[in-house]
Amino acid sequence: METREQLYEGKAKTLYATDDPRLLVQHFKDDATAFNAQKRGTIHDKGVVNNRMSEYLFRYLEEHGIHTHFVERTDDRRMVVQRLTMLPIEVIVRNRIAGSLAKRLGVAEGTAAKQRIIEFSLKSDELGDPLLTDDHILALGLVEAAELAQVKEVTGRIADLLTAFFAERGLELIDFKIELGHDADGRLTLGDEICPDTMRLWDMATGEKKDKDRFRHDLGDVEETYQEVLARVLAD
């Protein structure tokens, strides 16, 4: 397989075409953004950590019946993935209320949720990824009703699997974001990445934040924390 032209450069990753129209190369950068890209920086070797961690978690999810875009990791910063037609929404799962939701609702960071929350936002940097209700999604025709039900079902299974996975490693999964799309056969498929950039993880013993919040809020030990989380993920 040959890597061809750059198709897209995003905030955290770059996508390249390959000589196979069904496959892309996903390159993980060290660039970090927060607060709708108002805060920018780099985290040394974040791309390496996020590539390896995403590989590990995609393999784990595949083993447990989740269809993902992962094909193979080719080097420290790159993986081959199936080309997807992405849904125009981001899917956020919350086991506890933290981050922007805690702020918006005026509750303490980490407030317990009586039930798991699945919410959606429009993938739009210009608009700051606004929250979408189910009715917004259906009224705008962003996703069909039957597929929205399927998105919720598969997201629930992913949430159960990831929550258990991290609990075994002494980390509480507070919330996370995923992106889904259709593969060449029209199958709903998990895409993008799963890593400390896209989730909140709190140490179950100490309560310490082990994710991108260390960068967002200048908590220190950012690089070390990414490396530590990777080591905990890789330790069987």
Residue whose C-beta lies closest to ligand UDP: 99
Asked if 214 is part of the footprint of ligand UDP (rule: CB under 6 A), the reply reads: no
Asked if 191 is part of the footprint of ligand UDP (rule: CB under 6 A), the reply reads: no
- What's the CA gap between 45 and 26, in Å, rounded? 16
Asked if 192 is part of the footprint of ligand ADP (rule: CB under 6 A), the reply reads: yes
Burial per residue of 128-162, b for 16 or more beta-carbon CB atoms within 10 angstroms, e otherwise: ebeebeeeebeeeebbeeeebeebeebbeebbebb
64: left (phi over 0), alpha (psi -120 to 50) or beta: alpha
H-helix or E-strand containing 112?
A: strand 111-122
84 binds, among ligand UDP, ligand ADP, none (CB under 5 to 8 A by kind): ligand ADP
Nearest distance, CB of residue 89 and ligand UDP, angstroms: 11
Nearest distance, CB of residue 110 and ligand ADP, angstroms: 26
Q: What is the sign of the dihedral through the CA atoms of 127, 129, 132 and 136?
A: positive
Asked if 53 is part of the footprint of ligand UDP (rule: CB under 6 A), the reply reads: no
Q: Give start and end residues of each alpha helix (H) in the chain.
A: 46-63, 99-105, 134-139, 145-168, 213-216, 222-234
Contact pattern for ligand UDP over residues 102 through 141, marking x by CB under 6 A: ---------------------------x------------
Residue at token pair 């980390």: 171
11 binds, among ligand ADP, ligand UDP, none (CB under 5 to 8 A by kind): ligand ADP
Which residues would be at the binding site for ligand ADP (CB under 6 A)?
Answer: 8, 10-13, 15, 24, 69, 81-84, 86, 179, 181, 191-192
Which residues would be at the binding site for ligand UDP (CB under 6 A)?
Answer: 90, 92, 99-101, 129, 175-177, 198-200, 212
